[in-house]
Amino acid sequence: MSRKPVVLITGASGEIGHGLIDQLSTDTDRAIITLDLVPLSPKLSPKVRQHYVGSILDQQLLDRILAEYEIDLIFHLAAVLSTRGEFAPVTAHKVNVEGTLALLEFAQRQGESHGRSVIFMFPSSIAAYGLSGPDAKKRAGRVREDEFNTPTTMYGCNKLYGELLGAYYAGHYKQLVLEAPPSKVDFRGLRFPGLISAVTLPSGGTSDYAPEMIHAAAQGKPYASFVRPDTRIPFMAMPDAITALLRLASTPAQRLTRRTYNIGAFAPSAQEIMDEVQLAFPNAVITIKVDERRQNIVDSWPEDVDDQAARTDWGHSPKYDFHKAFRDYLIPTIKSQYT
Ligand code: AKB
């Protein structure tokens, strides 16, 4: 039992969780507690105070955590991604919407119990956008947060609604109830581009062609890209995604002009990614086998995002551009991992 402030990470065993736990555990003042459907990897376990194996939809489990810990920062990473969500839309809605609602309510109750605001970090996605196809995408160029909010995937709809729910809890919670407790949720969302990690592979996403191509080449396995070579969406190296989460979480609330921010880094075409992978792994066998349905999803996401608000308000400044991400992070780390 601890009454010291702790950080809660849901979906901790996923891609972002790995990097986030590594980084957060270097801050010895704040213990980490985690929640996931599966146990944490042996490498991560020693870095957290307590790991709960269970579902974010398990109210009894959330009540137990509420009673045992004083939480003032939540990274709500648990989600069903865009490809998997199309095969199981009701499950995706349960996890992505009902799970987020349960966690927002949990944050409000935590805040009421200790009297301080709970910072609620929510990874949203470029899937919150919906453009009508490659031509519209080309015309739109770098999109701003409030444009084209007409997603076509269950995951995108869920993320966009998650942003709205967060803004509701932060700004209008029980607005008609006289003497209702004030909002205790300080909601902060980040619309992530496709993320590429050198140490883990994503599962169930539609931006997965980039990380899959790189990891396959490093292992000497052939890879068939499921998108056309001219497909372009924004990507980011995982260390920059972790930095962005931590930087936004630690920015004083009065500096923030939005609840959810775009963040970008680089926006290569699939062909440019293939060329870079081929350069690093000359024997790589990469072919194209377009999956029209997944292609349609990627074609509805923007070519790039306008992240000026994030740069101005809290200093978003990715360390890795496209070439640096490959040469200084992805290729050396992946090579050492597979050899
Ligand atoms: C996905 O492809 O579902 C995610 C995303 C872009 O949010 N990686």
Q: What is the CATH number of the domain that holds 272?
A: 3.90.25
CATH code for the domain of 88: 3.40.50.720
DSSP string, 27-61: -TTSEEEEEESSPPPTTTGGGSSEEEES-TT-HHH
329 CA to middle of ligand 1, Å?
21
Residue 314, domain member (yes or no): no
* β-strand pairing of 70-76 with 50-53: unpaired
* Helices 59-68 & 99-114 angle (0-180, nearest 10): 20
| Structure confidence at residue 330 (pLDDT) | 96
Asked if the model's pLDDT at residue 261 lies above 70, the reply is yes
Instruction: Give percent of the chain with pLDDT exceeding 90.
Output: 94
pTM (2 decimals)? Answer: 0.97
Rounded mean pLDDT, 84-88? 98
Asked if residue 22 belongs to a domain, the reply is yes
Residue 239 Cα to ligand 1 middle (Å): 17
Confidence tier at 334 by pLDDT (50, 70, 90): very high
Same domain, 6 and 52: yes
Does 242 lie in the same domain as 280?
no
163 with 269, same domain: the answer is: no
Closest CA relative to residue 215, chosen from 235, 200, 229, 232: 200
CA distance 336 to 322: 20
Q: Cβ < 6 Å from ligand 1: which residues?
A: 81-82, 125-127, 155, 192, 194, 202, 205-207
Six token digits for residue 200: 């883990």
In terms of domains, do 22 and 79 share one?
A: yes
Q: Which of 52, 155, 209, 261 is catalytic?
A: 155
Ligand 1 center to 195 CA (angstroms):
8
Q: Are residues 100 and 188 in the same domain?
A: yes
Residues 169 and 246 placed together within one structural domain of the fold: yes
313 lies in some domain: no
pLDDT tens track for 92-102: 999 999 999 99
101: its two tokens: 């609602």
Q: pLDDT for 37-84, tens place per residue?
A: 999 999 999 999 999 999 999 999 999 999 999 999 999 999 999 999
Percent of the chain with pLDDT over 70: 99
Is pLDDT of 28 > 90? no
pLDDT in tens, 229-240: 999 999 999 999
- Structural domain including 275 reads 195-235+265-301+321-337
Residue ID of nearest Cα to ligand 1 atom 6: 194
Atom of ligand 1 nearest to the CA of 126: 6
Q: Are 210 and 238 in contact (CB under 8 A)?
A: no
pLDDT in tens, 110-140: 999 999 999 999 999 999 999 999 999 999 9
Whether pLDDT at 195 is above 90 = yes
Choose which residue among 155, 196, 293, 304 to substitute to test ligand 1 binding: the one with the highest number of ligand atoms within 8 A of its C-beta.
Answer: 155
pLDDT band at 339 (very low <50, low <70, confident <90, very high): confident
Residues 228 and 255 reside in one and the same domain: no
- Are 50 and 157 within one domain? yes
Catalytic, 155? Answer yes
How many domains is the chain built from? Answer: 2
Whether residue 1 has pLDDT greater than 60: no
Nearest residue (CA) to ligand 1, atom 1: 205
Query: Higher-confidence residue: 3 or 172?
Result: 172
pLDDT of residue 3: 63
The reply to whether 160 and 297 lie within a common domain is no
> Distance (Å, rounded) from C-alpha 28 to C-alpha 43?
17
pLDDT exceeds cutoff 60 at 2: no
- Structure token pair of residue 230: 């001219």
The answer to whether 232 and 303 are in contact (CB under 8 A) is yes
Asked if 82 and 153 sit in the same domain, the reply is: yes
Judgement on whether residues 90 and 180 belong to the same structural domain of the protein: yes
Of the residues 245, 262, 279, which one is the last residue of a structural domain? 262
